[in-house]
Chains A and B, each alone.
Chain A
Amino acid sequence: MGWNGEQIRIRAKELGTSFTELAQSLNVSRVSLNNWAKGQSPKGSYLVALCRALGVGPDYFFTPEQLPVTVPMHRTRRRARVTKQMQEAANELVAGYVNLFRKAPDPGLVPVLRIEERTEQNALKMALQFREMSGVQESQPIDYKHAFDLLDKLGIVVIFRTFPKEIKGYAFYCTINRHRVVFVNTATHLLDLIFPLLHEAVHALRDERGTTYDDEEEKFCDMVANFIQFPDGYVAQVARMLNGKQDAQRIALLRRISEERHHSLFGIAKRLEAYGIKLPTKAVGGADTNLKKHMNRTVGKVLFRSDDAVSYIEILSELSPRFITILSKSLSSCTDRKFGEWVDLDNQIDSSMARQALESKLALA
């Protein structure tokens, strides 16, 4: 938004008040009032008095400015629908970072992948390019390091936050001041983490085309993400391991594989159908839930595992170096609580210590 002093004249005229009378009622000089009308924004205490004198709220004087933010909400957990409340909650969460990104270095040129037709063949083609960028070995599933390295190479800033209850999702993609940003819910289970990261990364690259989000686009991004995470070679390997076994044995084995390779059972279970292995959905769901309960590790628990500020900053720096770089530009000018809000710390003790830890880290660099 920008200060629009002309509104003072308009409102004063509506009320039949002269500038002289207005200045007197505000106990300011006519010169000061004229300066405000010409574009100088008054300080807070004067703005309060001005609003009271003219019977309007402060937003009356500020011109709505197009925020350099797009927040397309489109991916939810399970069957949750994208609602107006969810969109508003996401917008509000992102709005808290606009000032942070105002000082961020320009993102410059970022990789783009232009594919028009949303076919399986094109999804595979895209997935191969992503996999090559991630540095993962052929026939290996994408692991956490590959996923985060990939997002970094794509110029995507990853921000971890505890999502408000209205946002029923693992992660969502947005742009802030031309930066590609993926917000990750700290409540996301580790086994559910990689797939949404990849899904949002695909959105980020296709967003360059001004793509509008719809069901077909969601399915296409899911397809690409699935191919990225589970290459054919890996799926074939798992299929061979499950071949010839009873359903119960298959589920147990798939559960063990999922735990070792850090992915949920669902994503790969669907792909196994192409190899003639159809597992009962309810049993897969049950095993998936049990595995997650057994592991009991969310993103938040990993971030806070050592419960001290220095470790927290170290882990954040490893997972999201771009975010740390952007934060470093604003360290001297934010309050402890604002810093805490940006890095998802809920109290001033932690945020003060984390800020000091980051300052020390930057001083050593």
Chain B
Amino acid sequence: MMMLIRISPEMIRDPKYECATVQAVRREVFGTRKFKDKYPWRTDFKAHLKAVSPSKLDPLVLDVVKQVSEEHINASEDNAPFRLSPEDKEVAAFAASNGWEVGTGDKGLQDFLDQEFDIKSHSALEVLNIWLKKKVIAWTQEMDKVLREWAEQREKPQPQDAKKLFAKLTGKKYPGP
């Protein structure tokens, strides 16, 4: 989310982006010093990052997420148990309650969402490509600048396929990590 918010500040508020965030993530962004150090501009977007209403969370789904995350094993990881934090479970439960896909680069969470709920996950660049494809946004110099800063801020490397698609959609080389 922090990778994308400067490209599309209205990504949470404007329904055309079809994005939401949850309270647990918001708490982390605005409540921890590390996020303050890495993204000092984050307070500029505080009003833009409203968390989805708790009423959107189905309590049964949350209970199931909690239960299966403790009981089931990850078939993609040599049958290791899933190891999700309470925040991961909250994200998964909101997604499963509403049929949403999830923006995350965390493999453990991706595996859980896919195995237990057939929920697709997307990296930041994949989300950006979705917006570009739907013509919700278009390439700008500012976008290019932010993508270069992803590399400077040592954000996670993006999937190769996503980089190729970006180039195809924008006609520009992807400058990020």
With most chain B CB atoms within 10 A of its CB, the pick from A62, A99, A103 is A99
Q: How far is the CB of A351 from chain B (nearest CB, A)?
A: 9
Q: How many residues of B contact A (CB 8 A)?
A: 39
> Which listed residue, A1, A99, A337, touches B106 by the CB 8 Å rule?
A337
Interface residues of A (CB under 8 A from B): 1-3, 41, 43-45, 47-48, 51-52, 57-59, 62, 99-100, 102-103, 330, 332-341, 346-350, 352
Residues of chain B with a CB closer than 8 A to A347's CB: 28, 32-35
Asked if B118 and A338 sit within 8 Å, CB to CB, the answer is no
CA of A59 to CA of B35, assembled, Å: 36
Residues of chain A with a CB closer than 8 A to B33's CB: 347
Residues of chain B with a CB closer than 8 A to A45's CB: 96, 116-118
Chain A CB within 8 A of B138 CB: no
Chain B, interface SS category: helix
A-B contact pairs, 16 of them (CB 8 A): A41-B72, A45-B116, A45-B118, A48-B60, A51-B63, A52-B60, A58-B68, A62-B71, A102-B81, A330-B80, A333-B82, A334-B83, A335-B88, A337-B84, A339-B83, A350-B34
Chain A CB within 8 A of B21 CB: no
Residues of chain B with a CB closer than 8 A to A100's CB: 83
CA of A44 to CA of B69, assembled, Å: 9
Asked if B116 and A44 sit within 8 Å, CB to CB, the answer is yes
Asked if A62 and B116 sit within 8 Å, CB to CB, the answer is no
Chain A CB within 8 A of B64 CB: yes
Residues of chain B with a CB closer than 8 A to A47's CB: 64, 67-68
Q: Which residue of A lies closest to B154 (CB)?
A: A353
Asked if B67 and A58 sit within 8 Å, CB to CB, the answer is yes
Asked if B106 and A48 sit within 8 Å, CB to CB, the answer is no
> Which listed residue, A2, A62, A337, A349, touches B34 by the CB 8 Å rule?
A349
Residues of chain A with a CB closer than 8 A to B57's CB: none
> Which listed residue, A44, A99, A336, A338, touches B68 by the CB 8 Å rule?
A44
Q: How far is the CB of B80 from chain A (nearest CB, A)?
A: 3
Q: Which residue of B lies closest to A56 (CB)?
A: B60
Q: How far is the CB of A326 from chain B (nearest CB, A)?
A: 13
Asked if B83 and A330 sit within 8 Å, CB to CB, the answer is yes
Q: How far is the CB of B151 from chain A (nearest CB, A)?
A: 16
Q: Which residue of B lies closest to A309 (CB)?
A: B34
Asked if B77 and A332 sit within 8 Å, CB to CB, the answer is yes
Q: Which of B37-67 contact A (CB under 8 A)?
A: 38, 58, 60-61, 63-65, 67
Q: Which residue of B lies closest to A58 (CB)?
A: B67
**Given A1-B71, A337-B84, A349-B35, 12 other A-B contacts at CB below 8 A?**
A43-B68, A48-B96, A57-B60, A57-B63, A58-B63, A62-B71, A99-B70, A332-B77, A335-B108, A338-B108, A349-B38, A352-B156
Identify the 7 closest CB pairs spanning chains A and B, nearest first.
Answer: A44-B116, A333-B80, A334-B83, A335-B108, A337-B85, A347-B32, A58-B67
Asked if B81 and A335 sit within 8 Å, CB to CB, the answer is no
Chain A CB within 8 A of B74 CB: yes
Q: How far is the CB of B38 from chain A (nearest CB, A)?
A: 5
Residues of chain B with a CB closer than 8 A to A44's CB: 64-65, 68, 72, 96, 116-117
Q: Which residue of A lies closest to B35 (CB)?
A: A347
Q: How far is the CB of A44 from chain B (nearest CB, A)?
A: 3
Chain A CB within 8 A of B8 CB: no
Residues of chain A with a CB closer than 8 A to B70's CB: 1, 99
Asked if B108 and A334 sit within 8 Å, CB to CB, the answer is yes
Chain A CB within 8 A of B23 CB: no
> Which listed residue, B74, B85, B118, touches A341 by the CB 8 Å rule?
B85
Residues of chain B with a CB closer than 8 A to A349's CB: 32, 34-35, 38
